[in-house]
Structure 1
Amino acid sequence: MTANVVVMVILLSDPRVAAVPVRESGEPLVRLDASFGPARARVRRGLADRLAHARRDLPPGIAIRVVEGHRSVADQRSIVAAYATEVRAAHPEAGPDEVRRLTSRFVAPVDVAPHVAGAAVDLTLVDACGDDLDLGTPIDATPEQSDGACYFAAAGIGADARAHRDLLARVLGGAGLVNYPTEWWHWSFGDRYWALVTGAGAATYGPARVGDGAAA
């Protein structure tokens, strides 16, 4: 199956993302097991199944470590506010609309946020000892901090980092996930961004709360 990696960068602030309808499936949040790392992140059940599928396609000695999944609305708002402050400082000439656009390179507006829906994970690859493989930047390196190297298709990263990103694209895209192209580590399924990129008629996951049928 061809990997669902976006070539043209559509940001989460794009009105086309918010225009995608949501037909909530009602799938619960479940905790990933410890084989995906100590975070034991919560995600929708369908995403958990697809991550397990992707893991089976990895070469021996390489594993997926998920560092974050579902976020509360309050946590998302806090991250948006903090990064927007950084953006204003780095781009003092930017007006409110441009600040919102630039902020969405790194963190989604709350109303369309894949993490809030339990539809997204931030992840990396590790070796048999659990040590991080080279992906070019740390997880959560902002565009300013990394000089754009956090973009999935960034030029100028090393050969090992490129090979590892391509491996992510193959196994995660093969399992039906899509990448947010400004963050090599962010992959989602079932959210509005996924629906827009894949041409699905609607998102299957809207905002989710722990306790709404969630597993411990």
Structure 2
Amino acid sequence: MKPYQQIAIAECREPLVPIPLDIFATEHLHAYQKLGAPYGDKSPYYLREQVVARLLQAQQQLQACCPSWQIQVFDAHRPIAVQQYMVDYTFAELVQAKGLQLQELTDAQKQSIWEQVHQFWAVPNVNPATPPPHSTGAAVDVTLVDASGAPVNMGSPIDEISPRSFPDFFADQPELEAQQYHQNRQLLKQVMVSAGFLQHMNEWWHFSWGDQLWAWLSTGANPNPDPHAVAARYGRAEL
């Protein structure tokens, strides 16, 4: 169990609503749909109503400082079945990248690879007390595109299993290119935080409002939180 999963949930039953995709940038086909993730006939572009409202605020803040730039929504509400699919997919990718064979892995190798996976991917459990953040409709993965529609370079791709994914990875690197990556990440964080979102500790692209991680970060990321001090607004939600 991760520390934020100790936070109590006071579900407010706010609905999932569609993200207005005419206002935000998206990929032509959702990244996980390209990989075969089982969304069925459900759109991946849903969030809780108040989370969508805050995302719109963040977009307005971005355009106030960078006219014609857009927030690009990479991922939003993620059903448990999709979470399971992507966790398994990421595990298999890491096995292949290490030149290993799945059927030949030792227990120690499996444990090591799972630890890498779960540093970035939440466990796809169905316990209502510990929902994966994206399953709540409160978490969103985002980046930026500039006025020409080109992706803004953040120094690493979304979902990379690497320290480069940590939000401040480039902060102390003196190279001009690294400093530009850091400034781009800071701009993204600035506009999202201005709308009330808080950023995942390990992922420059992941922001949330109203889930357990957000509540835990709101209390100062206390490693031993009082689960009743601040409650999350949102638990797991289904379309």
Is residue 194 of structure 2 the alignment partner of residue 206 of structure 1? no
Aligned counterpart, 2:197: 177
Structure 2: stretches of 5+ with no match in the other structure? 31-43, 101-105, 126-130, 220-228
Aligned counterpart, 2:179: 159
Aligned counterpart, 1:24: 11
Aligned counterpart, 2:137: 118
2:71 touches 2:144 (CA, 8 Å); kept in 1?
Answer: yes
The TM-score, its normalising length taken from structure 1, stands at: 0.80
| Structure possessing the higher radius of gyration over alpha carbons | 2
1:25 touches 1:205 (CA, 8 Å); kept in 2?
Answer: yes
Shift of 1:133: 0.8
The TM-score, its normalising length taken from structure 2, stands at: 0.73
45, 59, 65: which one aligns with 1:41: 45
- Structure 1: how far apart are the matches of 2:94 and 2:212? 25
1:88 touches 1:94 (CA, 8 Å); kept in 2?
Answer: no
Q: Deviations over 1:150-170 (max 9, x none)?
A: 111113462221111111111
CA RMSD of aligned residues (A): 2.2
Shift of 1:57: 1.3
Q: Deviations over 1:62-81 (max 9, x none)?
A: 21010210011101111122
Aligned counterpart, 1:138: 157
Q: Deviations over 1:39-61 (max 9, x none)?
A: 67111111111111111111223
SS where residue 110 of structure 1 aligns? coil
Shift of 1:87: 5.0
Shift of 1:100: 4.6
2:120 touches 2:202 (CA, 8 Å); kept in 1?
Answer: yes
> Which one has a larger percent helix, Structure 1 or Structure 2?
2
Percent of residue pairs bearing the same amino acid type? 31
- Structure 2: how far apart are the matches of 1:198 and 1:87? 33
SS where residue 189 of structure 2 aligns? helix
TM superposition outliers: structure 1 runs of 4+ over 6 Å? none
Aligned counterpart, 2:57: 53
Is residue 88 of structure 2 the alignment partner of residue 73 of structure 1? no
2:124 corresponds to which letter in structure 1? V
Structure 1: stretches of 5+ with no match in the other structure? 1-12, 211-216
1:165 touches 1:184 (CA, 8 Å); kept in 2?
Answer: yes
SS where residue 141 of structure 2 aligns? strand
Task: Give the number of equivalent residue pairs.
Answer: 192
